[in-house]
Amino acid sequence: MILRLAYRSLLARALTVSMTTLAIALSVALFLGVEKVRTGAKASFADTISGTDLIIGARSGSVQLLLYSIFRIGNATNNMTWDSYQDIASRKDVDWIVPISLGDSHRQFRVMGTTNAFFDRYKYRSGKSITLDDGAFMDDLFDAVIGADVAKTLGHEVGDPIIVAHGLASFSEHKDQPFRVSGILAKTGTPVDRTVIVSLKAIEAIHVDWKSGIKIPGESTAADVIRQMDLQPKAITAALVGTKGRLQVFGLQRAINEYASEPLLAILPGVALQELWQIVGIAETALIAVSAMVIVTALIGMMATVFSSLNERRREMAIFRAMGARPRVIFGLLILESTLMSAVGAVLGLGLLYVGLFIAQPIVDSAFGLWLPIEAPTLRELWILAGVVIASVIVSIVPALRAYRMSLADGMMVKI
């Protein structure tokens, strides 16, 4: 009976109720959307590199090594020698190893020297491989493969010449050895998008006429002559390593960290990523707080709507009392109305979320490389929806108590 009364009462105030329900739905959709973006960003962050067991570099800190080797942020404190790299590569527990050489740039984008094995071994988003959007991988000594963001920002196309600058903020350029864009990578949402990738030998080639970071005056070796040289590097910045078995990872890590020839550091990418997320992930707390305030605002708006309708519904309440309804029925009626509005708003908000995800998923993935999975609501999300309904019951108690008291007074007046 009371459920039918609540339904009829809400139907009689359809416009006001609809606006209040829509406000709750939008706030719920926003909160759950932020939650999806937060978890998606965290998962994408954790999946920046996958399938790599260890990252090796000069001894520093795990986060620092991760930052400059994977995220291209900062610089290495030192390099590791090529002899050490070959010694580690020859170990029986090493399945594969990919060298990385950093230091130069192209119009503020980092240049990374490596081998074509990088394109096969570097994985992201739980095992997804790098693919080409146009062109081909490196074949010639002076070929360069550029990330999606580099191509978009600088307007480069396959076949365009590019000049690499010495260092990050240097005006010294390797103009006498220009590169040619051989390929453009598909968007990955990882630091690869902002990287110019060349061969390890090419890094040595453009520094033939350089000594101690300075161009030797008057020296300009022809490209044909450089191609005939032994371009084996003397040192590299870091290396990505895959082991033959999971059980061998920790043994290899300990051996590298105790390496006698030079001070080296081997880190587990997943552990270092978690450490880094603890530093940069504070923004997710701010996002949750802001979206939670939106829900609180919507619930307060619902309470204000109920309050504002009390005087208009005073006659309605008096009629209920005259027909024998007890004050607690009036109290329960307002609580039930608020519960129905919030429940419908929560379900509608969930529906709006999935419509938004369906539309935005390919756009966000293409533009930012952020994957927002369309999955069934998680237990956490269901608890959020239940929390919204429970919160609506709590905030509706205040206007319900006032209606309770008003109905008592009006009931006494009716008896008189």
Residue 328 pLDDT > 90, yes or no?
no
In angstroms, rounded to a whole number, what is the distance separating the alpha carbons of residues 288 and 283?
9
In this prediction, what percent of the chain has a pLDDT beyond 70? 86
Q: Which region among 57-61, 296-300, 322-326 has the lowest average model confidence (pLDDT)?
A: 322-326
> Is residue 115 classed exposed, middle or buried when 0-12, 13-18 and 19+ CB atoms within 10 A define those classes?
middle
- Whole-number Å distance between alpha carbons of 341 and 357: 24
Residue type, 408: L
Question: Tens digit of pLDDT for each residue in 133-174?
Answer: 999 999 999 999 999 999 999 999 999 999 998 877 666 888
Region 55-68 average pLDDT:
93
**Mean pLDDT over the full length of the chain:** 84
Q: Is the pLDDT of residue 42 over 90?
A: no
Distance CA 57, CA 22 (A): 54
Tell which residue, 91, 15, 46, 143, has the closest CA to residue 266. 91
Residues 258-304: tens digit of each pLDDT: 999 999 999 999 899 888 887 766 777 777 787 778 788 877 877 77
Neighbouring C-beta atoms of residue 29, cutoff 10 Å: 23
Using pLDDT thresholds of 50, 70 and 90, give the confidence band for residue 365: confident
> What pLDDT is recorded for position 20?
82
Phi, psi of 30 (to 5 degrees): -65, -45
Q: What percent of the chain has pLDDT above 90? A: 39
State how far the Cα of 56 lies from the Cα of 268, in Å rounded to an integer.
9
Which of the four pLDDT bands, split at 50, 70 and 90, describes residue 412? very low
- Reduced to 3 states (helix: H, G, I; strand: E, B; else coil), residue 390 is helix
Distance CA 233, CA 101 (A): 9
pLDDT band at 370 (very low <50, low <70, confident <90, very high): confident
Identify the CA nearest to 295 among candidates 376, 385, 355.
385
Greater confidence (280 vs 52) lies with 52
Q: What share of the chain is helix, strand, coil (3-state, %, to 5)?
A: 55, 15, 30
Alpha helices per DSSP H over 116-217: 117-121, 148-154, 200-205
Q: Report how far residue 117's alpha carbon sits from residue 99's, in angstroms, rounded to the nearest whole number.
A: 9
Interatomic CA distance for residues 122 and 307, integer angstroms:
60
Residue 313: which H helix or E strand, with range? none
> Is 70 exceeded by the pLDDT of residue 415?
no
Q: Residues 81, 83, 87, CA angle at the centre, nearest 5°?
A: 120
What's residue 398's pLDDT?
76
Using alpha carbons only, how large is the chain's radius of gyration in Å? 32
Q: Residue 131, class by beta-carbon neighbours within 10 Å (0-12 exposed, 13-18 middle, 19+ buried)?
A: exposed
Pick the range with the lowest mean pLDDT from 121-125, 181-185, 229-233, 366-370.
366-370
Which two structure tokens, joined as six digits, stand for 76?
A: 């290495």
What's the pLDDT score for residue 129? 92
Higher pLDDT: 323 or 372? It is 372
> Which of 93-97, 323-327, 360-364: highest mean pLDDT?
93-97
pTM of the model: 0.75
Residue 202 CB neighbour total at 10 angstroms: 26
Cβ pair 397, 386 in contact under 8 A:
no
Q: Is the pLDDT of residue 58 over 90?
A: yes
CA gap 297, 299 in Å, rounded = 5
Mean pLDDT of 196-207: 93
- Inter-residue contact 259 to 269 (CB < 8 Å): no
C-alpha atoms less than 13 angstroms from C-alpha of 408 in its C-beta half-sphere = 7
**CA–CA distance, 333 with 339 (Å, rounded to integer):** 10
pLDDT value at residue 169: 64
Q: What are phi and psi of 180, to 5 degrees?
A: -120, 135
Top-confidence residue, 120 or 305:
120
The pLDDT of residue 408: 54
**How many Å apart are CA 74 and CA 265, to the nearest integer?**
17
Among candidate residues 60, 99, 58, 107, the one with its CA nearest the CA of residue 204: 99
Q: End-to-end CA distance of the chain, in Å?
A: 28
